[in-house]
Amino acid sequence: MTVLIIGLTGGIGSGKTRVSDCFIRYGVPVVDTDQLARELVEPGQLALAEIVAHFGLDCLDDAGRLHRARLRERVFADAEGRRRLEAILHPCIRAQVRERVATLTAPYCVVVIPLLAETGMTDLVERVLVVDAPEAEQIRRVVVRDQVDETQAHRILAAQASRAQRLALADDVLENIGDLEALDRQVALLHQRYLTLAAARSA
Ligand code: ATP
Protein backbone atom coordinates (compact mmCIF):
# COMPACT_ATOMS: atom_id res chain seq x y z
CA MET A 1 0.00 0.00 0.00
CA THR A 2 1.45 3.39 -0.92
CA VAL A 3 0.92 6.39 1.26
CA LEU A 4 -1.51 9.12 0.11
CA ILE A 5 0.50 12.35 -0.21
CA ILE A 6 -1.14 15.62 0.80
CA GLY A 7 0.70 18.82 -0.13
CA LEU A 8 0.15 21.60 2.43
CA THR A 9 0.71 25.17 1.34
CA GLY A 10 -0.32 28.73 2.16
CA GLY A 11 1.14 32.22 2.21
CA ILE A 12 3.31 33.64 4.96
CA GLY A 13 1.51 33.74 8.30
CA SER A 14 -1.48 31.82 6.92
CA GLY A 15 -1.24 29.15 9.64
CA LYS A 16 0.64 26.27 7.96
CA THR A 17 2.79 25.50 11.00
CA ARG A 18 -0.21 25.42 13.31
CA VAL A 19 -1.99 23.09 10.86
CA SER A 20 0.98 20.76 10.39
CA ASP A 21 1.46 20.62 14.19
CA CYS A 22 -2.16 19.42 14.46
CA PHE A 23 -1.53 16.67 11.90
CA ILE A 24 1.58 15.64 13.85
CA ARG A 25 -0.56 15.36 17.01
CA TYR A 26 -2.79 12.89 15.12
CA GLY A 27 0.31 10.80 14.41
CA VAL A 28 0.42 11.79 10.73
CA PRO A 29 3.96 11.87 9.27
CA VAL A 30 4.87 15.39 8.15
CA VAL A 31 7.73 16.19 5.77
CA ASP A 32 8.64 19.89 5.82
CA THR A 33 10.46 21.17 2.73
CA ASP A 34 11.69 24.28 4.60
CA GLN A 35 13.36 21.98 7.10
CA LEU A 36 14.79 19.85 4.26
CA ALA A 37 16.16 22.99 2.61
CA ARG A 38 17.91 23.93 5.87
CA GLU A 39 19.42 20.44 6.22
CA LEU A 40 20.63 20.50 2.62
CA VAL A 41 22.84 23.52 3.24
CA GLU A 42 24.48 22.24 6.43
CA PRO A 43 28.30 22.19 6.29
CA GLY A 44 29.51 19.18 4.32
CA GLN A 45 26.39 18.96 2.13
CA LEU A 46 26.81 19.05 -1.63
CA ALA A 47 24.26 21.85 -2.07
CA LEU A 48 26.29 24.15 0.18
CA ALA A 49 29.43 23.48 -1.86
CA GLU A 50 27.52 24.36 -5.05
CA ILE A 51 26.21 27.57 -3.50
CA VAL A 52 29.72 28.62 -2.49
CA ALA A 53 31.07 27.71 -5.93
CA HIS A 54 28.50 29.99 -7.53
CA PHE A 55 28.00 32.83 -5.03
CA GLY A 56 31.47 32.95 -3.46
CA LEU A 57 32.89 32.51 0.00
CA ASP A 58 31.21 35.63 1.38
CA CYS A 59 27.93 33.73 1.63
CA LEU A 60 29.50 31.77 4.50
CA ASP A 61 29.87 33.04 8.06
CA ASP A 62 33.09 32.76 10.09
CA ALA A 63 32.15 29.26 11.24
CA GLY A 64 31.70 28.06 7.63
CA ARG A 65 27.91 27.94 7.82
CA LEU A 66 25.58 29.48 5.27
CA HIS A 67 25.01 33.17 5.99
CA ARG A 68 21.31 33.15 5.08
CA ALA A 69 20.70 36.85 5.47
CA ARG A 70 23.61 37.73 3.18
CA LEU A 71 22.56 35.21 0.52
CA ARG A 72 18.93 36.35 0.74
CA GLU A 73 20.02 39.97 0.28
CA ARG A 74 22.21 38.94 -2.63
CA VAL A 75 19.46 37.16 -4.58
CA PHE A 76 16.59 39.44 -3.59
CA ALA A 77 17.24 41.91 -6.40
CA ASP A 78 18.91 39.41 -8.73
CA ALA A 79 16.48 37.22 -10.67
CA GLU A 80 19.28 35.24 -12.33
CA GLY A 81 20.95 34.54 -8.98
CA ARG A 82 17.61 33.42 -7.57
CA ARG A 83 17.10 31.04 -10.49
CA ARG A 84 20.59 29.64 -9.95
CA LEU A 85 19.93 29.09 -6.25
CA GLU A 86 16.65 27.36 -7.04
CA ALA A 87 18.37 25.21 -9.66
CA ILE A 88 20.78 24.04 -6.94
CA LEU A 89 18.21 23.48 -4.20
CA HIS A 90 14.99 22.32 -5.84
CA PRO A 91 16.22 19.05 -7.36
CA CYS A 92 17.76 18.12 -3.98
CA ILE A 93 14.52 18.96 -2.15
CA ARG A 94 12.48 16.92 -4.62
CA ALA A 95 14.80 13.92 -4.24
CA GLN A 96 14.64 14.16 -0.44
CA VAL A 97 10.83 14.35 -0.40
CA ARG A 98 10.55 11.28 -2.63
CA GLU A 99 13.09 9.38 -0.54
CA ARG A 100 11.36 10.18 2.76
CA VAL A 101 7.83 9.50 1.54
CA ALA A 102 8.94 6.14 0.14
CA THR A 103 9.87 4.93 3.64
CA LEU A 104 6.47 5.75 5.19
CA THR A 105 3.83 3.16 6.04
CA ALA A 106 1.03 5.47 7.29
CA PRO A 107 -2.32 5.77 5.41
CA TYR A 108 -1.44 9.33 4.44
CA CYS A 109 1.28 11.90 4.97
CA VAL A 110 1.56 15.67 4.71
CA VAL A 111 4.33 17.38 2.76
CA VAL A 112 4.59 21.06 3.70
CA ILE A 113 5.58 23.07 0.61
CA PRO A 114 5.16 26.78 1.43
CA LEU A 115 6.17 27.80 -2.10
CA LEU A 116 4.12 25.15 -3.92
CA ALA A 117 2.54 27.64 -6.32
CA GLU A 118 5.89 29.35 -6.99
CA THR A 119 7.98 26.20 -7.51
CA GLY A 120 5.53 23.99 -9.41
CA MET A 121 6.25 21.05 -7.09
CA THR A 122 2.65 19.86 -7.41
CA ASP A 123 3.82 16.68 -9.14
CA LEU A 124 5.24 15.52 -5.79
CA VAL A 125 1.80 15.36 -4.18
CA GLU A 126 -1.58 13.83 -4.95
CA ARG A 127 -3.81 16.36 -3.27
CA VAL A 128 -3.29 19.99 -2.32
CA LEU A 129 -4.49 21.56 0.91
CA VAL A 130 -4.31 25.36 0.93
CA VAL A 131 -4.40 27.24 4.23
CA ASP A 132 -6.06 30.49 3.31
CA ALA A 133 -6.37 33.70 5.29
CA PRO A 134 -7.24 37.29 4.34
CA GLU A 135 -4.11 39.29 3.51
CA ALA A 136 -4.80 41.82 6.25
CA GLU A 137 -4.83 38.96 8.75
CA GLN A 138 -1.59 37.48 7.35
CA ILE A 139 0.08 40.85 7.72
CA ARG A 140 -1.19 41.32 11.26
CA ARG A 141 0.12 37.88 12.31
CA VAL A 142 3.53 38.36 10.67
CA VAL A 143 3.97 41.80 12.26
CA VAL A 144 3.20 40.36 15.71
CA ARG A 145 5.23 37.17 15.29
CA ASP A 146 8.33 38.39 13.45
CA GLN A 147 8.51 41.98 14.73
CA VAL A 148 8.68 43.35 11.18
CA ASP A 149 6.82 46.53 10.24
CA GLU A 150 3.78 46.55 7.98
CA THR A 151 5.73 47.76 4.94
CA GLN A 152 8.13 44.81 5.19
CA ALA A 153 5.23 42.40 5.68
CA HIS A 154 3.54 43.81 2.56
CA ARG A 155 6.78 43.40 0.62
CA ILE A 156 7.11 39.74 1.61
CA LEU A 157 3.49 39.09 0.66
CA ALA A 158 3.91 40.82 -2.69
CA ALA A 159 6.89 38.57 -3.52
CA GLN A 160 4.79 35.43 -2.99
CA ALA A 161 2.14 33.90 -5.24
CA SER A 162 -1.25 35.52 -4.87
CA ARG A 163 -4.11 33.96 -2.94
CA ALA A 164 -5.89 33.30 -6.25
CA GLN A 165 -2.84 31.48 -7.69
CA ARG A 166 -2.66 29.23 -4.64
CA LEU A 167 -6.39 28.60 -4.48
CA ALA A 168 -6.37 27.53 -8.13
CA LEU A 169 -4.25 24.53 -7.05
CA ALA A 170 -6.42 23.55 -4.09
CA ASP A 171 -8.32 20.31 -3.66
CA ASP A 172 -9.10 21.33 -0.09
CA VAL A 173 -9.13 24.80 1.44
CA LEU A 174 -8.75 25.46 5.13
CA GLU A 175 -10.19 28.91 5.81
CA ASN A 176 -8.16 30.23 8.74
CA ILE A 177 -10.44 33.10 9.59
CA GLY A 178 -11.59 32.18 13.09
CA ASP A 179 -9.69 31.49 16.30
CA LEU A 180 -7.11 28.75 16.82
CA GLU A 181 -9.73 26.32 18.12
CA ALA A 182 -11.73 26.76 14.89
CA LEU A 183 -8.55 25.97 12.97
CA ASP A 184 -7.95 22.81 14.99
CA ARG A 185 -11.54 21.65 14.39
CA GLN A 186 -11.09 22.01 10.63
CA VAL A 187 -7.91 19.92 10.79
CA ALA A 188 -9.84 17.22 12.69
CA LEU A 189 -12.36 17.07 9.83
CA LEU A 190 -9.61 16.96 7.20
CA HIS A 191 -7.88 14.15 9.10
CA GLN A 192 -11.06 12.07 8.86
CA ARG A 193 -11.44 12.93 5.18
CA TYR A 194 -7.88 11.90 4.36
CA LEU A 195 -8.18 8.62 6.30
CA THR A 196 -11.36 7.85 4.34
CA LEU A 197 -9.72 8.73 1.03
CA ALA A 198 -6.66 6.64 1.86
CA ALA A 199 -8.82 3.66 2.86
CA ALA A 200 -10.94 3.93 -0.32
CA ARG A 201 -7.81 4.06 -2.42
CA SER A 202 -6.28 0.94 -0.93
CA ALA A 203 -9.57 -1.05 -0.92
P1 ATP B 1 5.18 31.14 7.84
O2 ATP B 1 4.95 30.87 6.40
O3 ATP B 1 5.59 32.54 8.07
O4 ATP B 1 6.10 30.16 8.53
P5 ATP B 1 2.76 29.86 8.77
O6 ATP B 1 1.86 29.79 7.58
O7 ATP B 1 3.49 28.61 9.16
O8 ATP B 1 3.76 31.07 8.60
P9 ATP B 1 1.89 29.98 11.50
O10 ATP B 1 3.28 30.14 12.04
O11 ATP B 1 1.18 28.70 11.74
O12 ATP B 1 1.85 30.39 9.95
O13 ATP B 1 0.96 31.17 12.03
C14 ATP B 1 1.46 32.51 12.07
C15 ATP B 1 1.17 33.12 13.42
O16 ATP B 1 -0.23 33.39 13.53
C17 ATP B 1 1.52 32.22 14.59
O18 ATP B 1 1.99 32.99 15.65
C19 ATP B 1 0.18 31.54 14.91
O20 ATP B 1 0.10 31.13 16.25
C21 ATP B 1 -0.79 32.67 14.59
N22 ATP B 1 -2.10 32.17 14.14
C23 ATP B 1 -2.33 31.33 13.10
N24 ATP B 1 -3.65 31.11 12.94
C25 ATP B 1 -4.28 31.84 13.90
C26 ATP B 1 -5.66 32.05 14.27
N27 ATP B 1 -6.65 31.46 13.62
N28 ATP B 1 -5.90 32.86 15.31
C29 ATP B 1 -4.90 33.48 15.98
N30 ATP B 1 -3.59 33.34 15.68
C31 ATP B 1 -3.27 32.52 14.66
Distance (angstroms) between ligand 1 centre and the Cα of 177 equals: 11
Q: What is the CATH number of the domain that holds 189?
A: 3.40.50.300
| Full-model pTM | 0.94
The stretch 140-164 carries a mean pLDDT of: 90
**Same domain for 73 and 4:** no
pLDDT digits (tens, 9 = 90+) for 8-62: 999 999 999 999 999 999 999 999 999 999 999 999 999 999 999 999 999 999 9
Give yes or no: residues 115 and 141 share one domain: yes
How high does pLDDT run on average in the chain?
94
Provide the domain count of the chain.
2
Domain with 193 in it: 1-29+107-198
For the cut 70, the answer to whether the pLDDT of residue 1 exceeds it is no
Q: Among residues 84, 103, 122, which one ends one of the domains?
A: 103
**CA 22 to ligand 1 centroid distance, Å:** 12
| Average pLDDT over every residue of 171-193 | 97
Looking at residue 135, its pLDDT comes to: 92
pLDDT digits (tens, 9 = 90+) for 84-121: 999 999 999 999 999 999 999 999 999 999 999 999 99
123 and 55 fall within a common domain = no
Specify if 90 maps to a domain.
yes
Which of 9, 16, 18 has most ligand 1 atoms within 8 Å of CB, for mutation? 18
Q: Which of 103, 132, 151 delimits the end of a domain?
A: 103
Q: How far is the CA of 17 from the centre of ligand 1 (A)?
A: 7
25 shares a domain with 47: no
Among protein residues, the one whose CA lies closest to atom 30 of ligand 1 = 180
Q: 147 and 85 share a domain?
A: no
Alpha-helix runs per DSSP H in the chain: 16-25, 33-40, 46-55, 68-76, 79-102, 116-119, 135-146, 150-159, 163-167, 180-202
pLDDT score recorded for residue 200: 94
- Both 153 and 175 in one domain: the answer is yes
- Same domain for 194 and 113: yes
Domain boundary among 103, 134, 156: 103
Please say whether the beta carbons of 100 and 106 come within 8 A: no
Q: Do residues 183 and 120 share a domain?
A: yes
